[in-house]
Amino acid sequence: MAKCTFLGLGVMGYPMAGHLVKAGHDVTVWNRTIAKSVDWASEYSGSQAGAITEAVQNAEFVMICVGDDSDVYAVAEPAIAAMNPNAIIVDHTTASAECARKCHAMAQAKSIGFVDAPISGGEAGAVNGQLTIMCGGDAVTFERANPIMDAYAKATKLMGPSGAGQLTKMVNQICIAGILQGLAEGVHFAQKAGLDVEDVVQAIGKGAAQSWQMDNRASTMAKDEYEFGFAVDWMRKDLGIALKTAEAVGAELVLTKMVDEYYKDVQNMGGRRWDTSSLLKRLT
């Protein structure tokens, strides 16, 4: 059993912190909206704190899952100041590689370990404890943190030094954006051609066209259902990070730029909180 703290109880963090309790760890949580942490503590019989410095006191592992770079800095800086040497921070936020490297340096200056560990799998993955985690940091720190992350992960992998986890998550989002645009066009074509989308998916879903997105989103897309899943606002945030990084490293992301603009169209249609599969809405 380890003494853990979880900072940030959003759609992902809330169930992830719960899995730590189920795994037998001693867990304290903190959230900007205190009511959320109170609800969590009641549901999981855990502890909640009103301040970050209180929450991380004597913690061996501190997990962070917030919104963006600015949120990470706002949480990590007071946490690092209050943590004990030899403790470890695991940041599950999807943020920039630069943010990861700066936080790693801040932590290292206080002899605290830091792992950038963005996650993939969506809300369902968090609820079911089946997340994929891409990690950046040193091997010793990763090996210490890995058994703790096992509480909510189906797969974890160390990708390289600090920032490598975030870079890998950018690749993940780049690939998803392209797949979803292709799926949207495929569903759109099937509908216009008078085909039954369910029949089409059954016919092609076991072949080369198969993808997680097809298996889990084609049916809901055909039904015009988007009030769930990973929000367009968050996808644009992630793609923005990827596009900015691409400029810095000299990578050309033609399709990603195009799909990001398409998501902007969806936002303008009122779909800021729609699932990312809502790219189809532009075509109907």
**Nearest in space to 94 (alpha carbons), one of 122, 71, 118:** 118
User: Across residues 90-95, what is the average pLDDT?
Assistant: 98
Q: Are 166 and 200 in contact (CB under 8 A)?
A: no
Res 133: pLDDT: 98
Q: Could you tell me the pTM of the whole model?
A: 0.96
Q: Which pLDDT value is given to residue 263?
A: 98
| The predicted structure's pLDDT at residue 225 | 98
Confidence (pLDDT) at 155: 98
pLDDT band for position 202 (cuts 50, 70, 90): very high
Q: Domain spans of the chain?
A: 3-161, 167-283
134: CB partners within 8 A, 6+ apart: 117, 118, 119, 120, 157, 159, 164, 165, 166, 168, 169, 172
Identify the active-site residue in 169, 206, 244, 281: 169
Cα-to-chain-centroid distance, residue 96: 12
58-71 residues labelled b (16+ CB within 10 A) or e (exposed): ebbbbbbbbbbbeb
DSSP state of 150: T
Which whole number is the average pLDDT over 125-130?
97
Average pLDDT over residues 246-265: 98
Q: Count other C-beta atoms under 10 Å from residue 10's C-beta.
A: 18
In tens, the pLDDT along 149-201 reads 999 999 999 999 999 999 999 999 999 999 999 999 999 999 999 999 999 99
102 as an active site residue: the answer is: no
> Helices 232-249 and 254-268 sit at what angle, rounded to 10 degrees?
150
Residue 19's pLDDT is 98
DSSP per position, 67-90: SSHHHHHHHHHHHHHHSPTT-EEE
DSSP secondary structure of 220-277: HHHTT--SSSSBHHHHHHHHHHHHHHHHHHT---HHHHHHHHHHHHHHHTT-TTSBGG
CATH class for the domain made up of 167-283:
mainly alpha
pLDDT in tens, 203-239: 999 999 999 999 999 999 999 999 998 999 999 999 9
Q: Tell me the three state secondary structure of residue 20.
A: helix
Per-residue confidence (pLDDT) for residue 2, from 0 to 100? 98
pLDDT in tens, 3-61: 999 999 999 999 999 999 999 999 999 999 999 999 999 999 999 999 999 999 999 99
What pLDDT was estimated at residue 272? 98
Number of H helices, E strands in the chain: 12, 9
Task: Tell me which H or E stretch contains 27.
Answer: strand 26-30
Enclosing H/E stretch for 47: strand 47-48
What does the pLDDT read at residue 45? Answer: 93
Confidence category of residue 136, pLDDT binned at 50, 70, 90: very high
CATH 3.40.50.720 fits 3-161, yes or no: yes
